[in-house]
Structure 1
Amino acid sequence: MSLTPTRVVETHQLADHSVDLRMPLLALMAVVVGTGGAVGAWVLVKLIAIATNLFWFGRISADDSVITDSNVGLLVVVVPVIGSLLVGLMARFGSEKIRGHGIPEAIETILFGESRLSLKVALLKPLSSAISIGSGGPFGAEGPIIMTGGAIGSLFAQCFHLSAAERKTLLVAGAAAGMTAIFGTPLAAILLAVEVLLFEWKPRSFVPVVVAAIVSLAWRPLFLGSGPMFPMIATAPDSSWGLLAAAGIGLLVGFEAMLLSTSLYRIEDLFHKLPVHWMWWPAIGAIIVGLGGLIDAHVLGAGYASIEALLTGSLALKVVVALLAVKALVWLVALGSGTSGGVLAPLLILGGAAGFLIGQFLPGDASVWAMIGMAGIMSGAMRAPMTGALFAVELTGHFEAVPYTITAAGAAYAISVLLMRRSILTEKIARRGRHILQEYTVDPLDLLQAAQLMTPHPQTLSGGMTIEQTLAFFTTQAKHRSYPVVDAEGRLIGLVSRTDALRWQVDQSLAKTLLSDAISDSVQPVAYPDTPSGVVADLIIETGVGRIPIVDRETRKVLGILSRQDLLKARSANRLAETGRDRFVGRTNPAS
C-alpha cells in the first residue's frame, strides 16, 4: 500500500508574540525612515515659511514670520483665495490625494491601498500644504507631515521585497517620525501610530515605529530646535477637585468635538452641491477665510502663535472668544472645501480656547485649563485618548499635569464614542463606502488550539475499502463532504471527498481498487493538537479543504477533525462573552 503524501502544519514554538528576524530588519530600515521623516518635516516648515513671506510680505525668505505682523489691508481677503486656487489646480492636475486632512488619506492607504504611496504625493503634499497654510489657510502642519513622512516610509519600503504589512510599518514609522520632528513629541507620535494608524499591536510594527520616532527626535535639534514647543511655567491644580474639573472640561470639549465633526461634514455636503468642479471649491471656501481674517488675523495660518498665547495666558478674553468662534468657522469651511491642511493645530486652538474660557470660573491659571482642553478635544475628535493626554504635556513639558490631561482625554473620548458613530478622521473614509473598526481585540482563533475546537473521534474510512464500497458509502451514509482515511492501526493515510467519489464513479475500472491506492497521489493537509486554530483556518482557506484532520505528532493517529463549523464555535463563544449577561452573587442556586 502506498501511503499518501500529507501536507503537515508545522507548529512553531508557541509564544506571547509573533516575532521573527524581520523585526530587527525593519527596525534598521526605520533608522533611514526616521531620518527621512525629520528631513521632510524641516522641508515642510521651510516651505511654509517661504510661502508665508511670499504671500504676506512680498519677499523670498525662509525665516519665520507671523501673518498678524503683515499689513495688506483688504488684500487679506484676496491672498487666501490665490493660495487656495493654486492648491485646487495642483490637486486637479497633479494628484487628488493631496486634498484633505492627511491622516484619513494615510489610513485609507494603509487599509485599502497596500500601504503604497506615490512619489507624486510625497512631493505635492508638502508643497500644496505649504501654499495653503502660508497663504492663510487655518491649518496645522501635522496632517501634511504625517502624509509626507508616511510617503517617505512607503517609498523606501517599495524599494525592497516587503509584504503589505511591512510596508505599513515603515509608512507609519515615517508618519511618527515627521510628527516627532515637527512637535518634539515622540511619545504622542508613537501612541498616535498605535491608536490611529497601525490597526494592530505587534512587536513587528511597534519597535520600528519607536526607532523612527527616536531617530527623528535625535535629528530635531539640528533641524528645528530642542525642548518643548510651547513651554509652560504654570502649575497644575493640586487637589481632587482639579480632577473633577478636568473631567468636566473633557465632557464639554468632547461635545465640542462632536459639533465640529458634524458641522464639517455638513459643510462638505454643501460644497458637493455646488454646480462647479471641485477644483474651484478651495478658492470659494478661502473667501470665508479671508473675511475671517478681516475680523481677526489670528485665525489665519497654522496658529501656533495663538496656541502659545493660550498656554502663556497672554491673550485678552475678548480675543479668545473671537478666536473660538471665527477660527472654528473659517477652519470648517476651508477644510470642507477639500483644500490641503491638517486638523490637529486648529483642534488645539479650539479646545484650548474653550478650556481657557472655562478656566475663568475655576481656581488657578487659565492657561493650565487651556492645556487640559487641548488634550480633551484631541482625544474626542480623533478618538485617540492616550495620544491627546501625552501630546498636551509633551508640547508644554508640563508632565505633572498628566493626571488631569488623561482625565479630560478619557471623559472626552467617552462622550465622543457615545454621541458619534465615527471620528472626524474616519467619517471621511466611511463616506467613500469603507467601514473602519478602531477597536483592537485578540482574534479568538489565536487564543485556542486545534485540540480545543476539534470534533474528537471522528468517523474514518479504512484504506482497505474498495472504490466500489466507498461509492456506496457516499451514496447512502455520508453526512460530510470528506472523511479521513486510515490504515489498520488508525494512522492517517489521507482524505477522501465527495468530489473524489464523483470522479471515480465515471471510471468503472476502479471499482476493485483499494481506497488507499486511489488517494496515494494526493497531497492532504493535516495539523496537530497544539496547532493554533488561526493557522488551521488559514490552511482551510489556502487549500479549499473544509475539514482538516488533527493527528498525533508521534503516532500519526487521527485524534479529531477541525471543520469550518468548528472554527465558527470560537467566534460564537467570543460573542457570547461580549453579550451574554448573568449574575452569580445573590442567585438562588449559585451552583446552577
Structure 2
Amino acid sequence: MTADTHKRDFAENRRLPGIALLAAGIGVISTLAAFVLLNLIHLFTNLFFFGELSFAERSPAQNTLGAWVVLVPVAGGLIVGLMARFGSEKIRGHGIPEAILFGKSRMSPKVAILKPLSSGIVIGSGGPFGAEGPIIMTGGALGSLIAQCVRVSAAERKTLLVAGAAAGMTAVFGTPVAAVLLAVELLLFEWRPRSFLPVALACAVAGFARGALFGAGPLFPLETVPPGALSLFTCVIAGLLSGALAAGLSAALYKTEDLFGKLRIHWMWWPALGGLVVGIGGFIEPRALGVGYDVIGDLLHLHLALQVALALLLVKAVMWVVALGSGTSGGVLAPLLMLGAGLGVVLSHLMPGNDPALWPLVCMAATLGATLGAPLTAIVFAFGLTHDSNALLPLLAATLVAHGFATVVMRRSIMTEKIARRGYHIYREYGVDPLERHYVDEVMTRDVETIDAHSTIDETLARYFGPLQTHRAYPVIRDGVLTGVIDRTALERMSTAPDREGAATTLLELMQTRASVVALPCETCRLVATRLAVHGLERMPVVDDVNTRRIVGIVSRSDLVKPSLAHFDEEHKKERFRRLGTRAAKRRLSPLRRTG
C-alpha cells in the first residue's frame, strides 16, 4: 500500500461532531431570537404609527397620521443614533463579514441585545428594511457568544457565528438551503466540511423549529406556467436590467455614505437625517414604509398597477439608499426583493408573449444575486420563497446574466465594498490551494549537501560557514541517518562561549539536545509550508520515514513557490494542440500566425 492511499479528500476533523452539536443548539436559539425580533417590529410599528401597545402584525401603510408621518422615522433614527453612540457602534449598517474575517469572530453581548432592539425601532418607525439583516447579525452574535464560552479555535468560532446567522435567516424566510448557500458565498469564505456541515445542521434545525413558531409553507407561494424557448431572450434582458439596477443601487449607496461622511455633525445625528428622507418618501408612497413583505407578495402576484410599481420602485430605492447610507440599522434582502420585483412588474408590461407573473420573481432573484454577488443563493432563495419549480430555468438564466454583468461592471459587491473602505481586501474566488495538490517529493532538492555528525564545531564553522558559505543551515547525518539541522547562529554561540570548551564538541553531541523538524516525501506542500511557518524555518530535511530518518532531500521556502508557478501556467499559458487540416483553412489562419 503506497502512502497516497492514506490521503483523504477532505481534512480529518475529530472535533466536527461536537461543533455540529453546538451548531444545532444555536439553530434553536437563533429561531427564538427571530421570533423575538419580529414581534419587536410589530410592537414598535403599532406604537409609532397607531399609538397602541400590541404585537399584532399591521402594515405602516395603513396609518392615518397624514403629514405627521414624516416625523416618525426621524424619531426612530434619533433613538438609534443615541443607542449606537452610547451603546455600541457595531449596530450601525448591514452585515457581519468584517467581524468574521478580521475580528476572529468575537462579537460582544451588547451587539446581541442592541442589534435586534435598534432594528425593531428603525423598522417599526418606518425604516425601509427587512428583518433578515438584523436577525442574521443577532444570530451571528449569539453564535459567537456561545462559542466564546467553550474552548474552540478561531475557525470553529467562525463556524458557530455563521451557523447562528444562517439559522436566523432560515427562521425569517423558511429557506434553509438558501441560507446555507448564503453562508458559503458571503460569510464562510470557504467550502469545507468542518464549517459547511455545522452550518447546514443549524439551518435544518431552524427550519424545523420555524414551523412551530411561524407555520410551514413558502412565504410567497406562486406558480407560473412553464417557460417557452422565447423566454430566454427576456431572461437575458431581465438579467441585464437587474444587473444595472444592482450596480446603480450599490454606487448610489456608497456615494450617499460618502456625502454623509462630509457632514460637519456627529454621525449620531445621521440616522435622524436619513429618517427625514424616509418620512417624506413614506408620505408620498406609504407602501414603501417598513418591512413590506405584503407589498412584495402583491408585486409577485401582479396586484399593483404599473404606475404604482414605478412609484414604489423609485421611492423605495431613494429611501433605502439614504437610510442605509446614514448608518442606521437594517437589512438589505427584503428591500432588494421589493426593488427587483418592482422592476419585474415594469418588465412584464413591456415584454408581450410571456407569462407576466414570471418576471417579478425573476428580476427579484437577479437583482438580489447581482447586488450581493451571490447568484446561487438568489436562485435557491427565490425558489424557497415561492416553491415555483417552473421558474427555476428562467431564474438560473437571468440571475447568471445579472451576476456576470455586475462582475464586469462592479469591482466589489455591496457587502465587500464596506470592508474594502476599511482598508481590507476580500478575494471571493474559491479554488484548491496549489500547495495542496502537490507533494514534497515533486518540489524538493534531491542533491543535498550534508555535514558529518563527527565534525567539531570549529571544523564546521571553518568549512561550511566561511566566505564560501552556500546555505544558511545544513542537515547533520551519521551513517546516512539524519541527526538534526545546524545553522551558523547555534555554532557561533557555542564557539564564543567564555570557556571555549564547546568549540571542540562534535555535532553529534550537540544534536542530542536539539530536536529536528522533518518532512516526508508523501506529505503535501501545504502541510510542510505550514510547518515551516510555525517553526520559523527556511528549509527542512526530507526523510524517507520517521523511524529510519534516512535523508532523501531537502525542501525550502523557495521550492514551495514551484506549485504556484505551475498553477500560473495552467491559468495563463495559451496552447493549441490541433490545427485545421485543409489547405484552405490553413490559408485562412496564416494571417493570424503572421500577426502573432
Q: Does 1:249 align with 2:238?
A: yes
User: 1:5 — aligned with what?
Assistant: none
5 Å-filtered alignment, 1:545-556, equals 545-553=537-545, 555-556=548-549
The reply to whether residue 581 of structure 1 matches residue 582 of structure 2 is no
1:344-363 aligned within 5 A? 344-362=333-351, 363=353
Match for residue 7 of structure 1?
A: none
Q: Write the letter of the residue equivalent to 2:445.
A: T
| Deviation sequence 1:111-165 (CA, Å, 0-9, x none) | 1111111111001101100110110101111110100111111111111001111
**Uncovered stretches (5+) of structure 2, i.e. residues with no partner:** 581-585, 587-596
- The alpha-carbon deviation at position 579 of structure 1 amounts to 2.2
Amino acid at match of 1:484: P
Report what 2:288 is aligned to.
299
Q: Which moved more, 1:512-521 or 1:161-170?
A: 512-521
**Of residues 176, 183, 187 in structure 1, which corresponds to 2:173?**
183
**Partner Cα distance (1:271, 1:395) in 2:** 35
* Equivalent of 1:475 in 441, 466, 479: 466
Q: Given the alignment, which residue of 454, 457, 463 partners 2:444?
A: 454
CA deviations 1:432-474 (Å, max 9, x no partner) are 1111111112111111121111111211111122222211121
Amino acid across the alignment from 2:470: K
Separation of aligned partners in 1, 2:238 and 2:92? 32
Provide the rounded CA distance (Å) in 1 between the counterparts of 2:240 and 2:453: 69
1:499 corresponds in structure 2 to: 489
Whether 1:150 and 2:140 are equivalent positions in the alignment is yes
462-471 vs 167-176, greater mean Cα deviation: 462-471
Among candidates 314, 335, 348, match of residue 325 of structure 1: 314
Deviates more, 1:355-364 or 1:211-220: 355-364
* Alignment of 1:32 onto 2:21: no
Moved more, 577-586 or 400-409: 577-586
Alignment-derived partner of residue 89 in structure 2? 96
**How far off is 1:44 after superposition?**
0.7
* Residue identity opposite 1:68 in structure 2: A
Task: Specify the code of the residue in structure 2 equivalent to 1:53.
Answer: N
Give % identity.
Answer: 49
Q: Deviations over 1:22-78 (max 9, x none)?
A: 111111111210001110111111000001000001000001001111110111101
Aligned-pair CA distance for 1:11: 11
Gaps of 5+ in 1: 1-9
- How do 1:184-583 residues align onto structure 2 when only pairs under 5 Å count? 184-237=174-227, 239-362=228-351, 363-473=353-463, 474-488=465-479, 490-507=480-497, 508-553=500-545, 555-583=548-576
- Counterpart CA distance in 1 for 2:161 and 2:226 is 37
Q: Does the CA-based 8 Å contact 2:336-2:364 persist in structure 1?
A: yes
| Higher deviation after alignment, 354-363 or 524-533 | 354-363
Q: Does 1:79 align with 2:66?
A: no
Does 1 or 2 have the higher relative contact order (CA < 8 Å, sep 6+)? 1
CA 1:321–1:116 in structure 2 vs 1: closer, same or farther (change >3 Å)? same
* Rounded Cα–Cα distance in structure 1 between residues aligned with 2:57 and 2:476: 77
Instruction: Say whether the 8 Å CA contact 2:285–2:311 is kept in structure 1.
Output: yes
Q: How many residues align?
A: 574
Q: Structure 1, residues 529-561: CA drift from partner, whole Å, max 9, x if none?
A: 111211211111121221110001153211111
Aligned-residue CA RMSD (Å): 1.6
Separation in 2 of the partners of 1:85 and 1:317?
35
CA 1:281/1:236 → structure 2, altered by over 3 Å: closer, same or farther? Answer: farther
Residue 236 of structure 1, CA deviation: 3.9
3-state SS of the aligned residue for 1:496? Answer: strand
- Distance in 1 (CA, whole Å) between partners of 2:27 and 2:4 is 35
* Deviation of 1:569 (Å): 1.7
* Cross-structure match for 2:7: 14
- TM-score, normalising length from structure 1? 0.94
Q: C-alpha displacement at 1:243, in angstroms? A: 2.5
Distance in 1, matches of 2:390 and 2:10, equals 33
Contact 1:450 1:528 in 2 (8 A): yes
Mapped partners of 2:489, 2:504: distance in 1: 19
Encode CA deviations 1:179-224: one digit per residue, 9 max, x unaligned.
0110010111010001110011111111111111111111112111
| Counterpart code for 2:559 | D
